[in-house]
Structure 1
Amino acid sequence: MPTSDSDRDSLIESLKDAEHAAGFIGAIFGEKDPEPALLRNAIRKVIEARITMNGLSESAKQNHEKLDKMLTESGGSEIYSFVELLEALGFKLEITVAETELSADSESTDFGESELSPEPVVINPS
């Protein structure tokens, strides 16, 4: 975690990138000895980055408040129990960027012809 204001500002700036933010939160779930305070802090930092981008919906704010309260009261035991259960079943929890997020964050304007043009319509006379 950041140790100075410039480190903190740099972290917040980097978390504006959706893929970096996903990796940041995902790394917390990959820890062998989970620390719920780290999860809460990671989520708060991602929320802060989104707020600076004006990219936090009212729904996200409300869900964050609920989750933060749950993590505070339970120490995150439910979340980490869920992760452990998934691992015991042979699964792995992975945090990825939603496709709608990818298209909104995409800086590429290099579109192929098929992405800009509708499929050709073939009319067969009968």
Structure 2
Amino acid sequence: MKDVKAPTSHSYSEYLIESLKEPEESAGYIGAILEEKDPEPALLRNAIRNVIEAQIRMNVLSESAKEYHEKLDQMLTESGGSEIYSLVELLEALGFKLEITVADVELLAESESTDFVESELSRAPANL
């Protein structure tokens, strides 16, 4: 009998990490967990780890983000996330909602690169 290779598929974990490379996807993922009516600190810790893993794979995780993650992970382990979920509950009781969104850092980077290209173009001699 011939060796038959079955097509392989990525595991859900791999799919999840790949999808979390998109900042909007990561924001929605963490936001959805914070919106749960029955808080599960282990899910929040896991979600944050998955987002961190996605950033590590993209090679964009800063040293300060690593340090903050370690501190937050320790806090969530020790307290069960009670502070974070208490904040969410308080805000809801006040009629507010905690929302996770993507920072405008990307927009700044895009405008800086556009400015660079425009300034370089303006310095180029005109050969008309």
TM-score range, shorter chain: 0.7 to 0.9
1:59 matched to 2:64: yes
Q: C-alpha deviations, 1:84-107, integer Å up to 9, x for none?
A: 111111110000000013555x7x
Percent of aligned pairs with the same amino acid: 75
SS at match of 1:23: helix
What RMSD, in angstroms, separates the aligned Cα atoms of the two structures?
2.1
CA shift, 1:6, in A, is 1.3
Moved over 4 A (4+): none
TM-score, normalised to structure 1, is 0.77
Whether contact under 8 Å (1:18, 1:101) holds in the other structure is no
Distance 1:102 1:96, change over 3 A: farther
Among residues 22, 33, 42, which one is paired with 2:47 in the alignment? 42
Give the number of aligned pairs.
Answer: 106
Distance 1:102 1:16 in 2: 17
Whether contact under 8 Å (1:21, 1:46) holds in the other structure is yes
1:93 matched to 2:98: yes
For 1:54, the aligned partner's letter is N
Structure 1 residue ranges without an equivalent (≥5):
118-126
Whichever of the two has the greater Rg, that structure is 2
Distance 2:85 2:20 in 1: 23
TM-score, normalised to structure 2, is 0.76
Structure 2 residue ranges without an equivalent (≥5):
1-8, 120-128
